[in-house]
Structure 1
Amino acid sequence: MVVGTTRGKRKLGALMEQYREKSGLKAEQIIKEVRTTRSTWSRMITGEARPRWALFFAILAVMKVSDEERERAMMLWEVADDEAVPIKHANSLPKNYLRFRRDESEAVAERSADAVLIPGMLQTAGYAAALAAGSHLLVPTEDWDEWIAPERVDRQALLHRKPDPLRVHALIDEAALRRKIGGPDVMRAQLDHLIRLAELPNITIQVIPNGLGAYGAFAGNFVILDFADDLGSVYFETLTGGVSVEDGDGVAKVREVWDDMAAHALSPAETVEVVRAVRGS
């Protein structure tokens, strides 16, 4: 049994719970019949682990699923452990953030909103390191400041993924451009980096100008992930490592908020001019 959640495992777990409800059996009945443990069953249903093949097949047999249902479950089982990109530092990453990183590696597009900082996907190594050093009371592990920069580089490899690089559309509050992280040299390099990234065909950057007041600030920091095969998910950054939402109505509402923010933000061309102006000030 391989432990560690992926979208594939969560989809498999949801399907197995659906089959269990349809069968009319209680989880305890199935657990007893196949001679497994409650924790093993729970990890499967929540998407934390994929069961061994023999156990998985036995569970399907006890629930008396149809041939078509068995085929669907078997297909999900085959891909449940797949990850588009290996995650470095996985053992050191906070659980919720690791889940986000795994989901992000499978996404085709990402839309973000940041009211305070430059988004992680667009940070330079210097900016990321300065951020870690300046927020030592909030970092997830003691050695976070040592590997946050290489972790960001590893994550940003998705921007150059072959053959389909991750499409990124970032909304950044103007205040984040003006917040001095790491000193003048670090900020100049970060702003220059944003200007270069804005030239890539798969990256769109829009600034929410100060003139809009608190319009963008109320939403906080979040990332919407879009996948080729479902409605997507939202990751909200928090002091405890972040929260992922996969509920369809919840994701749809956040998308509506993001779309409204994008409609009020500066155009990509105007954004580059603002970044240049801040960089030169």
Structure 2
Amino acid sequence: MLKTRVITAIVLLTILLAVLFVLPPIYLGGFFLLLLMASAWEWSRLILPNQPWLAYFYASACLLIIAGLMLLHQPLGPFALMFVASIFWLLIAPLMLSRGLKINLKKWSAPYFILGLVLLPATWFSVMFLREIGLLFLLSTMALVWIADIGAYFVGKAIGKRRLAPEISPGKSIEGAVGGLVLCYIYAGLCTFYLAPTLTLFGVWTYRFGWLPMFLMVTALTFLSIFGDLFESQFKRLAGVKDSSRLLPGHGGVLDRVDALIPVMPIAVLLVGFL
């Protein structure tokens, strides 16, 4: 199992590095578009597992939303989508998580279907927008999510005792979340100290507002990455499955790998817009 997991991770990392540093930027959009459509396919199967054909139409619907907004050549559409997604993560997602497993997925299937058609395309547009600012700007923002996850995992394994959300995700601990947050503070501080201010969101924020507001922003983004992880865990438990799919050997589904990025990316774009 571990060997399969490592091989899959190496293959994915190789593809990602090639798309980022070797191929033209348009390939990055295509790569993330494939990830989005795979995530949409999994999203639909979680809601209605007995209607697998619908998942292909759902993935196509996400593609059509993106294509339609791009053909309009109006930035207001994608920004409105990202704004709605941000409102959901800031105001509605915490309420849904507070209900634990008391949500009836069958009764709420329609809202979940609509939700995916907003959150997933909004994530794609967010990634593309941050890439337009700069490759390092995008990578440094995404790396914050990965560092929060890695820190939470290892600190939780070492000293985690108090469960963060025992009903939704028993493996996550408060100590792990705090450890991930501290590691994100260190990472953002190093980015700000050693890189030019305009190259990362942390540097721009520090330059405009100071160190304390920057660390508050990092705190918010780290918590949002945890929200995304917990939201997908809740989604899977409501659906009665362990993984969103088996598309990635040893890792589960694509949605399992990008869940923490989904809330962070659109809000990072709004933070840039605020600047």
TM-score, L = length of structure 2: 0.22
Q: Which has the larger radius of gyration?
A: 1
Task: Point out the structure with the larger strand share.
Answer: 1
TM-score, L = length of structure 1: 0.21
Higher relative CO (Cα under 8 Å, sequence separation at least 6) belongs to 2
